[in-house]
Amino acid sequence: MRSLVREVHLHPGALILPLFLCPGEGVRREISSMPGVFNLSIDEAVKEAAEAAALGLGGLLLFGLPASKDDQASGAWADDGIVQQGLRALKSQASKLLLIADVCLCEYTAHGHCGVVRRDGEHYEIENDASLELLAKTAVSLARAGADIVAPSDMMDGRVGVIRGELDEAGFDQTPILSYAAKFASSFYGPFREAAGSAPQFGDRHTYQMDGANLREAMREIDQDLAEGADMILMKPALPYLDVIHAAREQFDVPLGAYQVSGEYAMLEAAFARGWLDRERAMMETLISIRRAGADFIVTYFAQQAARRLS
């Protein structure tokens, strides 16, 4: 009876699994703050993708750990970059999965910021417009390598329009853009920065990620990205911002996703390890809450666990 009258349903196809790709072979290195989540070499990622496909997941969101970093984030847009290599391998082995490629510079810059930095002694400034060229080069390189969707997460102003223009010019006019349109400067990203080696070496990201107090500004950011050509939007984080997800769902009639981020996962895993919460019930309750708020799909490190539970 409960199933019959249930208002919100969750299914494996609405779940997206993040993967962290790293150089080497046979590498499966657990991230200390994220039990059960690993840095994976490409051969191991292919195995993970095969399981994800068998479980009926909707797709993968790919991040990269380059062998080296520099101030121009060259590993992000190099044709032999780690994610580009991963896309080519996964495209041939995991055809049932959508491959979503994150577009950002933070994993590839020596300083860990999401854009080009100009420094003058202790003072530093993110050069928004100079960053757009590198982000667009990255998006085109990822599309060329086989990305089904590119997902800019950098939060530079105007990046969606520039990426759309460069994709179209390069012949990828059918490649959709999933914009992290409302990405807040959150304390819940800590474990991800360990996983991706992307913690800023100085300062913070408050000048380009959003203030968590501002819901109306989030709606303006989304509206701007859609006007520039975004096809879908992604809200990040999820649980502390369910009201923002709901407001976006009420205002915008486009595919909308939410990212249950690393800190949300780590927080729950810590409670599970201590026996304070029931794993399956709490995991599913959080995912249902994100769907109930209005998300059409969810990026979550619980994707495989949840899919097993659902099946």
**Contact, 294 vs 245, CB < 8 A?**
yes
The residue extents of the domains of the chain are: 15-310
* Integer Cα distance of 24 and 17 in angstroms: 21
Q: What is the DSSP string of 155-204?
A: --TTHHHHHHHHHHHTT-TT--BEEEEEEB--GGGHHHHHHHT---SSS-
The 3-state DSSP class for residue 254 equals coil
**Tens place of pLDDT for every residue, the chain, 311 residues?**
988 999 999 999 999 999 999 999 999 999 999 999 999 999 999 999 999 999 999 999 999 999 888 888 889 999 999 999 999 999 988 778 999 999 998 889 878 788 888 776 667 788 889 899 999 999 999 999 999 999 999 989 999 999 999 999 999 999 999 999 999 999 898 888 777 667 776 767 777 888 999 999 999 999 999 999 999 999 999 999 999 999 999 999 999 999 999 999 999 999 999 999 999 999 999 999 999 999 999 999 999 999 999 98
Q: Catalytic pick from 47, 96, 137, 183?
A: 183
Reading the block at residue 134, the tokens are 């590198």
- What's the pTM? 0.94
For 129, 147, 303, the CA distances from 132, given in Å and listed in that order, are 5, 19, 32
**From the candidates 47, 69, 91, 236, which is the catalytic residue?**
236
Tokens of 103: 């577009």
Q: How many whole angstroms separate alpha carbon 46 and alpha carbon 67?
A: 19
Burial of 268 (0-12, 13-18, 19+ CB in 10 A): buried
Q: How is residue 38 written in tokens?
A: 């690993």
What's the CATH number of domain 15-310, 1.10.3210.10, 3.20.20.70, 3.40.50.1820, 3.40.470.10?
A: 3.20.20.70
Other Cβ atoms within 10 Å of 276 Cβ, number: 10
Known active-site residue 236: yes
pLDDT of residue 245: 98
